[in-house]
A and B are shown apart, each in its own frame.
Chain A
Amino acid sequence: MGLLGKLLNVVTTLNAALPQSKTNGASQLGLVSAPVLPNFMTNNPLPNGYPWGSDTVTNTNPYRNSPNTGVTRYYTFNVSRGVLSPDGYQKQMILVNGAYPGPTIEANWGDTIQVTVQNNIQSPAEGTAIHWHGFLQHNSQWMDGVPAFSQCPIAPGKTFTYSFKAELYGTSWYHAHYSAQYSDGVQGAMVIYGPKNRDYDIDLGPVMLSDLYHVPYLQTVNYTVMGGPPRPPPNITSDNNLINGKMDFNCSTVAPGDKTPCVSNAGMSEFKFTTGKVRKLMS
Chain B
Amino acid sequence: VINSAADATQQFSIDGHILTIIANDFVPIVPYNTTVLTLGIGQRSDIIVTANYTSNSTFWMRSNITCSTSLNPNALAVVMYDKASTSAVPTSIPQAYTPGCNNDPLASTVPAYPINPGTPATTQTINITVAQNSTGSWLWYMNGSSFRSDYNDPTLLLAKAGNTSYPYSPQFNIYNTGTNSSYRFIVNNLTPAPHPLHFHGHNMFVLAVGSGTWDGKTIVNPNNPQRRDVQLVPPFGYMVWQANAGESSYNHSTTTTAN
A contacts, CB < 8 Å to B: 1-3, 5-7, 9, 11-15, 30, 32, 57-58, 60-63, 101, 127, 131, 133-138, 141-142, 144, 146-153, 168-173, 175, 177, 179-180, 182-183, 187, 189, 192, 196-198, 200, 206-211, 213, 217, 220-221, 224-227, 231, 233-244, 246-249, 253, 268-283
Given A208-B2, A226-B137, A282-B1, CB of A134 within 8 Å of CB of B154: no
Given A1-B65, A137-B247, CB of A14 within 8 Å of CB of B46: no
Contact partner, A5, options B20, B73, B155, Cβ 8 Å: B73
A239 and B70: CB pair below 8 A? yes
Closest to B73 in A: A1
Closest to B87 in A: A14
**Per-position binary interface string of chain B over residues 217-259, scored 1 when its CB falls under 8 Å from any chain A CB and 0 otherwise:** 0000000000001000000000000001001111000001101
- Contact partners of A58 in chain B: CB under 8 A: 112-113
B201 and A135: CB pair below 8 A? yes
- Contact partners of B198 in chain A: CB under 8 A: 133
Supply 15 further A-B pairs (C-beta < 8 A) apart from A197-B30, A217-B6, A268-B78: A14-B86, A14-B88, A58-B113, A144-B200, A152-B151, A211-B7, A238-B65, A240-B70, A241-B73, A244-B77, A270-B78, A271-B61, A275-B57, A275-B81, A283-B2
B247 and A136: CB pair below 8 A? yes
A208 and B4: CB pair below 8 A? yes
**B99 interface residue, CB < 8 Å from A?**
yes
Given A172-B26, A241-B75, CB of A275 within 8 Å of CB of B47: no
**B28 interface residue, CB < 8 Å from A?**
yes
B46 and A171: CB pair below 8 A? yes
**B127 interface residue, CB < 8 Å from A?**
no
**B175 interface residue, CB < 8 Å from A?**
no
B contacts, CB < 8 Å to A: 1-8, 10, 12, 20, 22-23, 25-31, 39, 42, 44-55, 57, 61-66, 68-82, 86-89, 94, 96, 99, 112-113, 115, 130, 132, 136-140, 149-157, 193, 198, 200-203, 229, 244, 247-250, 256-257, 259
B44 and A171: CB pair below 8 A? yes
Closest to A281 in B: B47
- Contact partners of A225 in chain B: CB under 8 A: 137-139, 257
A240 and B52: CB pair below 8 A? no
Closest to A137 in B: B201
A209 and B2: CB pair below 8 A? yes
Q: How many A-B residue pairs have CB under 8 A?
A: 327
Given A15-B87, A226-B136, A241-B65, CB of A275 within 8 Å of CB of B52: yes
Nearest CB of B to A110, in Å: 14
Report which residue of B47, B80, B81 has the largest number of chain A beta carbons within 10 angstroms of its beta carbon. Answer: B47
B156 and A197: CB pair below 8 A? no
B69 and A274: CB pair below 8 A? no
Report which residue of B7, B45, B152 has the largest number of chain A beta carbons within 10 angstroms of its beta carbon. Answer: B7
- Contact partners of B12 in chain A: CB under 8 A: 207, 209
A182 and B4: CB pair below 8 A? yes
A236 and B74: CB pair below 8 A? no
Alpha-carbon gap, A182 to B250, bound state (A): 20
B49 and A281: CB pair below 8 A? yes
A149 and B78: CB pair below 8 A? no
A210 and B74: CB pair below 8 A? no
- Contact partners of A272 in chain B: CB under 8 A: 80-82
Alpha-carbon gap, A238 to B74, bound state (A): 11
Contact partner, B4, options A6, A138, A175, Cβ 8 Å: A175
Alpha-carbon gap, A233 to B256, bound state (A): 13
- Contact partners of A179 in chain B: CB under 8 A: 259
- Contact partners of B10 in chain A: CB under 8 A: 209, 241
- Contact partners of A177 in chain B: CB under 8 A: 259
B44 and A270: CB pair below 8 A? no
